[in-house]
Amino acid sequence: MLIDSHAHLNDERLVGMVSEIVSALAEYRVESVVCVGYDAPSSAKAVVLAEEYEGKIFAAAAFHPHESKSYTEKDADIFRVFASQKKIAAIGETGLDYFYDLSPREVQKRVFAAHLELADGVGLPVVVHVRDAYGDALEILRTNKRYLNNGILIHNFSGDAEIMRGFDEFDCYYSFGGTLTFKNNKKGIEAFLSAEKSRILLETDCPYLTPEPHRGKLNFPYYVKYVAEKGAALMGLEYGEFEALTNRNTKEFFRI
């Protein structure tokens, strides 16, 4: 079965639909979903959902680079408690986003580094968001390499194959979502095909980045099947083989 490795069921557009969404997962052969936090309230909501739908939803907690300006040590303490109580499977999503620059870049870099140190302290992997900031992201990973002991996932990888080779220095995992199904996404397909098979995960990033054939509409975790169909076809694998491959990789990364 499939696992959606990155979804925002804590988004206000979906949070009232979670019961319905979870009930529909089996129909699409989706085993579980990782609900990812992007600030303090959304991280707490991810934990609540993971507790309510144990085994179907797993939680990750962190501050998205857009929200970095609001991050405090108090938030770090709360995430440490979540980790100590085994309520979260990862620290994420954190990282850098220079496309929108909704938080100052120096703040983004400082908070990203703080999340890497936090994750190492609690023994959890890190889910990383990077947009238009690959050079600085690589530099922060190099500077903080001593903290990279539990796995790094570059979610919704949007760089090219050459950029991916830079992240391979840190044995990163890469998740691919709806953009893999978009027409004319030559760069994304080349990166996907250059990734080690044992490092590939699938995601929706719902409610964003809805795959074909539903592009332009609200995204849901069970639409990860369209990403899987595209990925299997690109690799020339049987669907079941690709499904099992990504399921295994996801469980290995999150230890679920």
Helix H, strand E, coil C: the string for 172-198 is CEEEECHHHHCCCCHHHHHHHHHCCHH
The reply to whether the predicted model has a pTM over 0.95 is yes
pLDDT band at 198 (very low <50, low <70, confident <90, very high): very high
Phi, psi of 11 (to 5 degrees): -70, 145
Split at pLDDT 50, 70, 90, the class of 55 is: very high
Class of domain 2-254: alpha beta
Q: How far is CA 149 from CA 103, 124, 156, 165, 252, in A?
A: 27, 9, 21, 19, 14
What average pLDDT does the segment 223-247 reach?
98
* 254, 58 Cβ separation under 8 angstroms: yes
Distance (Å, whole) CA 193 – CA 203: 16
Residue 228: pLDDT band with limits 50, 70, 90: very high
Average pLDDT over the chain, rounded to an integer:
98
